[in-house]
Structure 1
């Protein structure tokens, strides 16, 4: 699996590239297929970021990431 930096991740924000990526616990996920991430926004969260610290405030647990294949390691 490839590795991407936080700066590279920021380009996958739903605006600059067609792919929409978010990171969680060191893995980068492609959430482009999710209707909940249209235009790179999911409620008050923005794509192209590491959302690890945001999970405690979310109405779901980490199992939500089971729906998506990781595409990279966040370095």
Structure 2
């Protein structure tokens, strides 16, 4: 599971100019999941993180927390 960086996610969403409804349609990710991500309440599967990043036209690394060893 991946943790989405809420602030970076919201910044990417703002830059995209999309509404959450448009993001839902473009990404295929449910509104409930998007809401939880926006409120920093959810860890998501890598596929969901990838779909959100693709819909926002950013690299997935830009919206997830990355643990460095």
Confirm or deny a common fold (TM above 0.5). no
The normalised TM-score by structure 1 is 0.28
Higher helix share: 2
**Which structure has the higher relative contact order (CA within 8 Å, separation 6+)?**
2
